[in-house]
Amino acid sequence: MVVDGLRIVPCGDRALLCYLGDTLDDATSRRVHALARALTGIHPAVVEVTPGCHAVMVEYDPVRIRLEQLLGLVADAARESAATPGAGGREVMIPVVYGGAYGPDLAAVAAHTGLTPEEVIARHAGGTYRVYCLGFGPGFPCLGELDPALATPRLETPRPRVPAGSIGIGGALTGIYPVASPGGQRLIGRTPLRLFDPGRTPPAWLEPGDRVRFVPVRPDAFDDAEREPEQARPASPAFVPGRTGLRVLRPGLHTTLQDLGRRGYTAFGVPVAGAADPQSLMIGNWLLGNRARTAALEITLAGPEVEFTGPAAFALTGAPIPAELLPAGGGPARPVPGWTSVLAAAGDRLRLGTVTAGCRAYLCVAGGFDLPPVLGSLSEDLFGRIGPLGRPLQAGDWLPLGLPLHPPADLAGRSLPPDAIPPFEGKALVRVTVGPQADRFPEEALSCLFSATFRVGVRADRQGLWLEGPTLPAADAGEMLTEPIPPGAVQVMPDGRAILLLSNRPTAGGYPKVAVAVYTDLWAAAQLKPGDSLRFERVETADGHAIAWQERRRLGQIRRFLERGVGLPLRPASVASHPGPDLASAVPAGTPSSAAAAQPGLAGATGQPDAARPRRYRVAIDGMEFLCEVEETGS
């Protein structure tokens, strides 16, 4: 679809890429940022608006808006923004120490360009650069309008760690690494400024549309600033006696906090992140009466061992994993079934083994985790080091639990029907639509993509799966402008290898996207581990929308089934009067409450034998009282 020079390309079943030009220039940049502003908040179904160098990506929920309606809104916004493109952004001065340990590639850039190091510094500091977009990593600015004489190819092998504040040149762009991360640009200097801070609003120092000038400074100015910590690491919560939580005894291979991700920050280069398999997370939360987006522990391959410091209900979902609950008072371990709500007492230990199929399991707890959100989410983005902990779990961590929404006794034993449990077979069929750069590939490459079987390579993480199999060389190997990356993009590297990007994908990139996966098929792909197989099947955008509707109905049926019969609290009370859940001290175990015994007909009035008589208990959790009925049946 083309509207007044705007080319709109559907990408998968929930994203549109809106191209405003094919070159890097000031006029295109202004139009991109004006369109992004016009699209922000245009409809509740639009969940992200992400500007790139010459394109804007619109992510949307296809169940909440028809594609035809969305296209009309985008076209109207394009006409409106073209009429009033707006002024440029702020002019921001960035102090830089050039060369030496701060710019180890300055001499290499000088040798490549035929200039002296002093001339490179003078030309670089003499320019004014527009922030075309933020991407690659949180707060990373893609700065255009570099002096053509300074253009230098990226490193053939990226550095595994580039210090925060490093300033580099990569091709025709220059950039600044706001946080320590891998990177391939040629480093010519560093700034002492902290360009990204998740505790700041907005979190990025620079914004799309700003104009940047670099000011050379002496190394001693940088040294003074370097005495301050690069970025304060969040502290692990301190244990509160009497408070229910999880104490980590053994962290497992790679265990992180995840919810459904953080929204509204992709324009700042912040990935959505969140659970790699949202279906398993949501169902685990519904088993426990939680809201769908409540945070859980995402467990990769090998699980942790944790101790409950108070009574709690929990559930294991996702990949099947051996688990046993060790009672606090001793005695034999009790096996824990998957996809089932289980009660744990204070001091009980949950020991998890290694997944028997799939890749990721989820440990959900009633009430979720009571930790401060970072940019609106508890998800840990380890690539941008954003989250409550900023890292995977470690031995000794203690995670306090929140207040359950329902009585724990009402949750115990609830389980998902076997026919609703997703299969974990070590293979996946991923349905895809053709990508925005599919025309760069010959027909033989596209036929190979849809007919071959790929294997997941050893490089597989929350960002994406590197696929082993036939290569997909592009017919057009020309350099691509950096643009936003849609969910489920299948990117092709210069050597022809394909990567299927997952939940923690970067927000922008410069590699061609040959295809884009249907969003819900990514859940099965996220459960593949190295060596598992994957195939692609071509579908149309309308098919992807039909699949989204089917999955939404199926999940709605599961939720309604699991929510049947969940009790409601009797009487709210002051939350501040109790430090945390205290089920054990509220009512002695096995003793009917005095309130229940005083009410006629609750006990002793049915004529039933004592072994089958319903018993009611009044339980207080964080100041909220629940009436729980337990029917004892003989063995």
Please indicate whether the domains covering 2-83 and 427-547 agree at the CATH topology level. no
Per residue in 492-525, is it b (16+ CB within 10 Å) or e — as a string?
A: beeeebbbbbbbbbbbbbbbbbbbbbbbbbbbbb
Secondary structure (H, E, C), 131-189: EEEECCCCCCEEEECCCHHHCECCCCCCEEEECCCEEEEEECEEEECCCCEEECCEEEE
| Paired tokens of 562 | 């699991």
Q: What does the domain layout of the chain look like in residue ranges?
A: 2-83, 91-226, 245-418, 427-547, 575-631
pLDDT at position 308 is 97
| Paired tokens of 599 | 């009410």
CATH superfamily entry for domain 427-547: Cyclophilin-like (2.40.100.10)
pLDDT at position 495 is 86
pLDDT at position 428 is 96
pLDDT at position 291 is 95
pLDDT at position 183 is 84
- Give me the helices (H) in 264-411, please: 278-287, 408-411
Question: What is the CATH number assigned to the segment(s) 91-226?
Answer: 2.40.100.10
Output the pTM of the full model.
0.84
Determine the Cα–Cα distance for residues 321 and 356; give it in Å rounded to an integer: 6
If you compute the radius of gyration of the chain from its CA atoms, what whole number of angstroms results? 27
pLDDT at position 582 is 36
pLDDT at position 620 is 60
pLDDT at position 316 is 98
Domain covering 245-418: architecture: Sandwich (2.60)
Determine the Cα–Cα distance for residues 124 and 152; give it in Å rounded to an integer: 12
Domain 2-83 in CATH 3.30.1360.40? The answer is yes
pLDDT at position 52 is 92
User: Which among 60, 459, 28, 405 has a CA at the least distance from the CA of 263?
Assistant: 60
How far CA 599 is from CA of 572, 587, 592, in Å, comes to: 21, 17, 11
List the helix and strand counts (H, then E) for the chain.
Answer: 12, 36
446 in Cβ contact with 438 (< 8 Å)? yes
pLDDT at position 235 is 66
507 in Cβ contact with 269 (< 8 Å)? yes
Determine the Cα–Cα distance for residues 443 and 565; give it in Å rounded to an integer: 55
- Calculate ∠ Cα 563-566-572, nearest 5°: 125
Counting as low any pLDDT under 50, the low residues of the chain are: 228, 230, 567-613, 632-635
pLDDT at position 570 is 32
pLDDT at position 478 is 61
